[in-house]
Amino acid sequence: MELHNLKKTKNEKKAKRVGRGIGSGKGGHTVGKGQKGQKARRGRKPNLGFEGGQSPLYKKLPKIKSFKSRGSNLEKAQIVHLNVFNKFKDGDEITPQILAEKKIIKKVPNQGVKILSNGELKKKVILKGFKYSEKAKEKIINSGATLDVQNI
């Protein structure tokens, strides 16, 4: 195989060399760069996102009303109220995974499950692996239920 034996492939066309004079096959006076303006000049081209001196969109976004920062998308602790635990029997050991299995919560987030003091706890259950608010902790202890020793 030699160079003179090679077949030319389809659409193998040289690109026009913009801005290289009349002999380049691309215009003469404006040489394919349009009329005037920053892009028609020699030298530095504007960087990506440059809007001619106007504040670029990526800088304006945080000032827009409905803008949500990356931190707002983080998972927060799932909230569960005390009266949810009245569905269980006395002496049951309850963990966040059991709540997810019983479909009381959708899933156990990375931040965990926090118990708030809404409602009354009437069952003497064993709670493990939860976070508690101060009032919820008092109500749980007063009802006779036991808490996980690590989270108290």
User: What 3-state class would DSSP assign to 147?
Assistant: strand
Token pair listed for 139: 């109500």
Q: How far apart are CA 121 and CA 128, in angstroms?
A: 15
Q: Give me the pLDDT at residue 73, please.
A: 65
pLDDT, one tens digit per residue, over 60-81 is 887 777 777 766 666 788 999 9
Q: Show the domains of the chain with their CATH numbers.
A: 18-61 (no CATH), 76-151 (3.100.10.10)
**Eight-class DSSP state of 95:** -
pLDDT, one tens digit per residue, over 126-147 is 999 999 999 999 999 999 898 8
Token pair listed for 87: 């569905």
- How do 126-127 and 93-94 pair as beta strands? parallel
∠ CA 79-84-88, nearest 5°, is 135
Distance of CA 58 to the CA centre of its chain: 17
The reported pTM is 0.51
